[in-house]
């Protein structure tokens, strides 16, 4: 390497083995004006040598140096590996607030339309499936009932028992001060039948079964199993979603009943051990305070919770994009959305059935 008349002459090999020494040698010419880089003496060059030339040109861009006298080998390597000819992407114009709002509304409109179409398909094929078993796996409803219902029974019973125990214990401490021990039965019975039993069951199913539904359908779409079903003229909604929909419809009243009974039993333990009430007095009060309306409301809204879980899980499963990362994203989104809508539906049902003007 030598410098004459604002020309930098490079010679020898420009490879990964010589570039470190050239960088060190180049320091002696720092600050000098270089408007031409002569490569006539360069015998060979690789990608590291090309990167060295690019860095040299960028550092001397104030002088706008030119690469001259390149052999065909050097010119071919520079044209292949140089990044100077790559155009930098031009950042698009920043959208204003109203355009962003408009695009969001359009995406929301499309999402709502797709959801309505899917809900219509699910209810239609669920009704048709009761009379026509074509394109359905034999025993699929029983299999899904075991997965969604039986396998979830243990965790639902355990958490319901703990919840009933805690509700009774917290309320008993206050009721005991006023000699109103017997009213713990009222509180536990009404809260478990109308609110805690259905919503606790729904939240557990949203986290357990909702995530399973979303991940299963998303995986089937990523691995092109959904496309394979369509190629065989099999409706994916009817083949994959309807058995889950019917299974959770069958299981949800049983699971809610289990949750309610176990929760009331947890309250009974506190009533007996802490409030000195007998089991006979406790259950007499439970049956006295409960009405048919309470039972029907609790069971009725549990169906809407269950349907929302299956529909939301299926919707996000069919919307998956990408590979394994996409499956994880839609699974998380489905669980969050399911729990959100379960709480919203519970609030709406409470306002409809219990709000008095």
Over residues 215-234, the pLDDT tens digits come to 999 999 888 888 888 888 88
Residue 99 within any structural domain of the chain: no
- Residue 47 tokens read as 């990608």
End-to-end Cα spacing for the chain: 93
Number of DSSP helices (H) and strands (E) in the chain, helices first: 15, 4
CA distance linking residue 255 with residue 202, whole number of Å: 9
Same domain, 39 and 140: no
Q: Tell me the average pLDDT across 21-49.
A: 80
Residue 179 within any structural domain of the chain: yes
Most trustworthy range by pLDDT among 78-87, 113-122, 172-181: 113-122
**pLDDT for 81:** 79
Half-sphere exposure of 232 (CA within 13 A, CB side): 9
**Reported confidence tier of residue 155, pLDDT bands at 50, 70, 90:** very high
Task: Work out how many domains the chain is built from and give that number.
Answer: 2
Segment holding 42, helix H or strand E: strand 36-45
Last residue of a domain, one of 36, 65, 81: 81
Taking the model in full, what pTM does it have? 0.70
**pLDDT for 135:** 66
Residue 88 within any structural domain of the chain: no
Residue 100 within any structural domain of the chain: no
Same domain, 179 and 52: no
Question: Average model confidence (pLDDT) for the chain?
Answer: 85
- Residue 287 tokens read as 């049956």
CA distance linking residue 311 with residue 334, whole number of Å: 10
Q: Tell me the average pLDDT across 53-81.
A: 80
Last residue of a domain, one of 65, 81, 97: 81
**pLDDT for 91:** 59
**pLDDT for 233:** 83
Same domain, 156 and 119: yes
Cβ burial, residue 185 (10 Å; 0-12/13-18/19+): buried
CA distance linking residue 99 with residue 351, whole number of Å: 37
Last residue of a domain, one of 81, 101, 127: 81
Q: In what order do the strands lie in the sheet with 66-68?
A: 2-4, 7-14, 36-45, 66-68
Same domain, 37 and 181: no
Most trustworthy range by pLDDT among 19-33, 42-56, 313-327: 313-327
CATH classification at residue 67: 3.30.750.24
Same domain, 155 and 220: yes
Residue 89 within any structural domain of the chain: no
Residue 86 within any structural domain of the chain: no
Most trustworthy range by pLDDT among 29-43, 44-58, 141-155: 141-155
Using CA atoms, how far residue 248 sits from 57, 134, 209, 338, 352, in Å, is 68, 20, 9, 14, 24
Same domain, 190 and 72: no
Same domain, 213 and 297: yes
Same domain, 75 and 157: no
Window from 49-53, 110-114, 304-308 with minimum mean pLDDT: 49-53
Question: Is residue 357 predicted with pLDDT exceeding 60?
Answer: no
Pairing type for strands 7-14 and 2-4 reads: antiparallel
CA distance linking residue 81 with residue 303, whole number of Å: 64
Decide if 25 contacts 12 (C-beta within 8 A): no
Same domain, 58 and 113: no
**pLDDT for 249:** 92
Which one is predicted more confidently, 2 or 262? Answer: 262
Residue 238 within any structural domain of the chain: yes
Residue linked to tokens 């992407």 = 89
- Residue 128 tokens read as 């048709």
Same domain, 184 and 227: yes
Q: Tell me the average pLDDT across 266-272.
A: 89
Same domain, 208 and 328: yes
Same domain, 134 and 175: yes
Range of 9's domain? 2-81
């Amino acid at each position: 390497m030598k410098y004459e008349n604002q020309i930098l002459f490079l010679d020898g090999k420009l490879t990964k083995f010589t570039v470190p020494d050239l960088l060190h040698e180049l320091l002696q010419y720092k600050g000098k004006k270089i408007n031409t880089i002569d490569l006539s003496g360069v015998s060979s060059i690789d990608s590291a040598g090309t990167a060295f030339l690019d860095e040299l040109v960028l550092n001397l861009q104030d002088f706008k140096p030119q690469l001259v006298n390149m052999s065909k080998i050097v010119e071919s390597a520079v044209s292949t590996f140089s990044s100077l000819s790559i155009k930098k992407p031009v950042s698009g114009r920043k959208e204003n607030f109203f355009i962003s709002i408009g695009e969001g509304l359009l995406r929301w409109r499309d999402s709502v339309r797709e959801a309505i179409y899917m809900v219509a398909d699910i209810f239609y094929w669920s009704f048709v499936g009761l009379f026509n078993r074509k394109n359905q796996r034999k025993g699929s409803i029983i299999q899904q009932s075991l997965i969604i219902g039986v396998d979830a029974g243990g965790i639902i019973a355990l958490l319901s028992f703990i919840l009933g125990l805690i509700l009774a214990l917290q309320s008993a401490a206050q009721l005991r001060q006023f000699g109103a021990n017997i009213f713990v039965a009222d509180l536990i019975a009404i809260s478990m039948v109308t609110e805690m039993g259905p919503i606790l069951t729904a939240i557990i199913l949203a986290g357990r079964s909702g995530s399973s539904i979303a991940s299963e359908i998303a995986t089937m779409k990523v691995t092109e199993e959904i496309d394979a079903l369509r190629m065989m003229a099999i409706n994916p909604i009817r083949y994959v979603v309807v058995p889950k929909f019917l299974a959770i419809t069958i299981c949800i009243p049983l699971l809610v009943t289990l949750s309610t009974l176990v929760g009331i039993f947890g309250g009974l333990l506190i009533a007996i051990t802490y409030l000195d009430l007998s089991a006979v007095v406790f259950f007499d009060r439970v049956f006295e305070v409960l009405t048919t309306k309470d039972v029907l409301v609790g069971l009725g809204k549990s169906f809407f919770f269950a349907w929302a879980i299956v529909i939301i899980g299926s919707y996000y499963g069919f919307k998956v994009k990408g590979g394994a990362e996409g499956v994880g994203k839609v699974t998380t989104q489905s669980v969050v959305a399911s729990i959100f809508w379960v709480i919203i539906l519970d609030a709406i049902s409470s306002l409809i059935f219990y709000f008095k003007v």
